[in-house]
Chain A
Amino acid sequence: MASDHNPVAVERAEWKKRQMKERMKQLLTVSSPIFMLLLWEVLSRTAVLDPRFFPPPTAILETFWNLAASGELLTHIGVSLYRIFGGFLLGVIPGVIIGLLMGLYSPIRHFVQPIVMAIMPIPTLALLPIIIILFGIGDLSKVVTIAGSVFFPVVINTAAGVMNIDPIHMDLAKNYGADSKDYFLKIAFPGALPVMLEGIQMGQAIALLTIVAAEMMGSVSGIGFLIWTSYKAFLLQEMYVGLILISFFGYLFSLLLRGLQRKILRWR
């Protein structure tokens, strides 16, 4: 009879079942990319997928090693990462400052908002010819292009973050005599951080999208350049190496930013 069982034992069995389910979910998460790669490999090897357009992952991996061994790959990666970081910072820092000012001071918001809203829909890439004329075909034009794309999600999210702060915290700061510096640093900035970091996360994704396209035009190095020239020479294995690198860095940066977010927002 069920009532004869030790209740703790019953619950322990239940708990073990739940643990098993959790482990099962983790297994699914880890196995899904492996499954996809295996499927791709098999389909490509059996020529169900045309191997000229979809070379098997193992062949791409081989090309990766060859490119890496020649040192060519490292140069491209280094150049692109430099541009990404430079552009990212050049977009995020003014984005945060202007966003905070917009959120805090409504005259600034009303003046700046229409300008931001009007410029935002223009893809920075469409401005690339102008940017190249102004900044040349070197690193600077790429950095500026990325900064331009990163700036908008950051500025909008930062302003929204400030405006999302519970007005009771503003009242409290005022009641306890905060001056404008304390107000900025102790209330507005930390209060806006959660939404601001979402904007930065978005900006990071956009930076990667932008770098590839920016390096396709007027460039002689970088991951985007690798993808584009390989494609034009119909070296599809090389092209896939570039695509996979972008996917890898995108994933890596997302994880890093999520980690940072958890650490900074411990209070949430």
Chain B
Amino acid sequence: MKEDVKIRIRNLTKVFYQKGESVTALDNVTLDILDGEFVCLVGPSGCGKTTLLRILADLEQPSAGGYEIATEKEDRPLQSMVFQERGVIPWLTVRDNVAFGLEMRKLPKKVVKERTDYYLEKTGLMAFADRFPKELSGGMKQRVGIARAFANDPEILLMDEPFAALDEQNKFILQEELLQIWAETRKTVLFITHSIDEALLLSDRILLMSAQPGRISEEIRVAAPRPRAMEAIRADPDIAEQFVRVLKHLQDEVQRSRG
């Protein structure tokens, strides 16, 4: 396994200030994520995990500190984000949604079509290529978001609770599909979730966050071998133990923020 650092975050701080009141969403976060690593960020609502992701996505500017994403290829975008279900643009067809990043980068038509076709096929969306998103189920919409991000071939992938709105069965299916596509490219992924199961299934490393100020309070390595399947993960006693550990941490966090 490559041991190069892909995302280097140093003393990252974000303060939201309004009418004399300030909230520290991120407090001095320092973190290295390795090349090809799948990292899940888990924490209670309002712990700053979305803020961290939005800063890496260049949608928000840090108040202090900074980050660096190592580049491998010149013509690659730094990062692409998989948004929540609403992120699919309703007035573009499935094909145009998947091709969106490539079109914005003004790549040659042939390249756009090739890459779009590849990921439409990969995600089982080919039959829906010319439909509008309103005709798709929630799971299918989320496949559009995943296909769009992978087709863009970025240095790193950012995912903002992409499966939060799905029902349990669809969630399992999409999680395994995501793992398959990911295994092919081995991109570095930073994935936000509320679900402990999801984090244990997907990630190499889980970062637990605490709220106000937002800090990374603990990290857990998930050693289960890949490729992973939900059944095997559920049956693994080590994983069961880690589940309880994460659960305890989150409960303590919620208690503390109430107290």
Q: A176-B152, A177-B101, A178-B104 are in contact. Are A191 and B91 (CB under 8 A)?
A: yes
Residues of A within 8 A of B83 (CB): 168, 171-172
Residue B146 CB within 8 A of the other chain: no
Q: Is B172 an interface residue (CB 8 A)?
A: no
Cα separation A193 to B90 with both chains bound (whole Å): 12
Q: Which residues of A contact B101 (CB under 8 A)?
A: 176-177
Greatest chain B CB density within 10 A among A182, A266, A267 is at A267
Q: Is B13 an interface residue (CB 8 A)?
A: no
Does A12 count as interface, using CB distance less than 8 angstroms?
Answer: no
Tell which of B84, B86, B105, B134 touches A267, judged by Cβ atoms closer than 8 Å: B134
Q: Within residues 157 to 173 of chain A, which ones have a CB less than 8 A from any CB in chain B?
A: 166, 168-169, 171-173
* Bound Cα distance from A268 to B106, whole angstroms: 27
Question: Which residues of B sit under 8 angstroms from A190, Cβ to Cβ?
Answer: 91
The answer on a CB contact under 8 Å between A168 and B104 is no
**Is there contact, CB below 8 Å, between B134 and A168?**
no
Most chain B C-beta atoms within 10 Å of own C-beta, residue among A169, A190, A193: A169
Query: Is the CB–CB distance between B80 and A175 below 8 Å?
Result: yes
What's the least CB distance linking B74 to chain A, in Å? 15
Interface size on A, residues (CB 8 A): 21
Give the residue of B91, B104, B132 whose beta carbon is less than 8 angstroms from that of A176. B104
Q: Which residues of A contact B92 (CB under 8 A)?
A: 186, 267
Contact of B86 among A166, A174, A191 (CB under 8 A): A166
Contact B57 A267 (CB under 8 A): no
Pair A175/B57 contact, Cβ less than 8 Å: yes
Is residue B211 within 8 Å, beta carbon to beta carbon, of the partner chain? no
* Closest chain A CB from B145 CB (angstroms): 9
Interface footprint category on B: 20 to 34
B38 in contact (CB, < 8 A): no
A172's partner among B89, B91, B134 (CB-CB below 8 A) is: B89
Given A190-B91, A266-B132, A267-B91, A174 contacting B105 (CB threshold 8 A): no
Measured in the bound complex, the distance between the Cα atoms of B84 and A51 in whole Å is: 67
Chief secondary structure at chain A's binding surface: helix
The answer for the CA separation of A12 and B100 in the assembled complex, in Å, is 47
Residue B58 lies at the interface, judged by CB distance under 8 Å to chain A = yes
Assembled-state Cα–Cα distance A266/B132 (Å): 8
A4: chain B residues within 8 A (beta carbon): none
Closest to B96 in A: A186
B124 lies within 8 A of chain A by Cβ: no
A11 beta carbon closer than 8 Å to chain B? no
Q: Are A267 and B90 in contact (CB under 8 A)?
A: yes
Q: Which residues of A contact B58 (CB under 8 A)?
A: 174-175
A193 to B86, CA, bound (A): 18
- Chain B CB within 10 A, most for which of A169, A176, A190, A268: A176
Q: Which residue of B lies closest to A182 (CB)?
A: B104
CA distance A95 to B86 in the complex (A): 29
Could you say which residues of chain A place their CB within 8 Å of the CB of B105?
177
Determine the residue in chain B with the shortest Cβ distance to A176.
B101
The distance in angstroms between the C-alpha atoms of A178 and B101, with both chains bound, is: 8
Q: Cα distance A186–B100 when bound, in Å? A: 10
In contact, B90 and A168 (Cβ under 8 angstroms): no
CB distance from B9 to the nearest CB of A (A): 18
Asked if residues B81 and A267 are in contact (CB atoms below 8 Å), the reply is no
Q: Does B235 contact A (CB under 8 A)?
A: no
Given contacts A182-B104, A267-B132, contact A175 B90 (CB under 8 A): no
Known: A182-B104, A190-B91, A268-B134. A175 touches B81 (CB 8 A): yes
Q: Which residues of A contact B59 (CB under 8 A)?
A: 171, 174-175
B95 → chain A closest CB, angstroms: 13
> Interface residues, chain A, CB within 8 Å of chain B?
166, 168-169, 171-179, 182, 186-187, 190-191, 193, 266-268
Give 11 pairs: A residue, B residue, CB < 8 Å, sorted on A: A171-B57, A172-B100, A174-B59, A175-B58, A176-B77, A177-B101, A179-B104, A187-B89, A267-B132, A267-B133, A268-B90
Which 3 A-B pairs have CB atoms at the shortest separation, nearest pair first?
Answer: A267-B132, A176-B101, A190-B91
